Copies of this chain bind each other. A is one copy, B any other.
Amino acid sequence: MSLDNNISKEIFNELSFSNEEIEIINAVFFRETFKKGTQLLKAGDNVDRQYYIIDGCLRSYHIDTQGREYTVQFGIKDWWMSDYTAFFSNSKAIMNIEVLQDATVYRILDEEKEYLYNQIPKIESFFRKKLERAFAAFQRRILSELSLTAKQRYLNFINSFPNIEKSVKNYHIASYLGITTESLSRIRKELSHK
């Protein structure tokens, strides 16, 4: 087969496609690489695309009126990244997305995603299931924000993202946990004593 089916393999490893389907997939996904520090989305932008991460590390975060940052998500291999609050409602971004470690991603545009779902329904199923898992993860996160102390949330975090500490700064982690970098520092000190 002469067609390039790398994309379909990288994103949909367990699914198999016809040549026509692979052509469609190749046409809607665009491979991009970004350097550490690149800003992929800024609050206020129109959100018309999503990124599927092949390699590297991204984060999405919100900046409040006082300039404080809140990390909503770290994006690593096989995760999707976008400002979902805006993406699903076609409004302006309230999130920022930045590259924490040099990244390779596949980008898909909003309008092409709906086209893709119509052309290849099993891809809609595939993403629906991914979304269900992400939804459940968010529900667990809400619960942990409601019920756990900062220390417990930090321990959960390093459990859930065992290798991420090399890619992200402590203040990124603090902003994900909803605490200050000083508080995280105290927690880390306390844990190192044990």
B89 to A136, Cβ gap below 8 A? yes
Q: Pick from B121, B140, B142: contact of A145, CB below 8 A.
A: B142
Q: Pick from B64, B132, B138: contact of A139, CB below 8 A.
A: B138
A147 to B176, CA, bound (A): 11
Which of the segments A35-43, A97-105, A123-131 contacts the partner chain? A123-131
Q: How far is the CB of A145 from chain B (nearest CB, A)?
A: 5
> Interface residues of A: mostly helix, strand, loop or mixed?
helix
Q: A15 contacts the other chain (Cβ, under 8 Å)?
A: no
B64 to A178, Cβ gap below 8 A? no
Copies per assembly:
2
Cβ–Cβ < 8 Å partners of A84 in chain B: 132, 135-136, 139
Give the residues from 107 to 128 in chain A that come closer than 8 angstroms, CB to CB, to chain B.
117, 121, 124-125, 127-128
Cβ–Cβ < 8 Å partners of A135 in chain B: 84, 88, 131, 134-135, 138
* Most chain B CB inside 10 Å of its own CB: which residue of A87, A136, A146: A146
Chain B residue nearest in CB terms to A137: B85
A145 to B127, CA, bound (A): 27
Q: How far is the CB of A160 from chain B (nearest CB, A)?
A: 14
Complex interface bits, A37-74 against B, C-beta within 8 A gives 1, otherwise 0 = 00000000000000000000000001010001010100
A141 to B94, CA, bound (A): 13
Q: A133 contacts the other chain (Cβ, under 8 Å)?
A: yes
Q: How far is the CB of A82 from chain B (nearest CB, A)?
A: 10
A193 to B128, CA, bound (A): 47
Q: A1 contacts the other chain (Cβ, under 8 Å)?
A: no
Q: How far is the CB of A158 from chain B (nearest CB, A)?
A: 18
Q: List 5 A-B contacts (CB under 8 A).
A: A62-B147, A84-B136, A88-B135, A89-B133, A121-B124
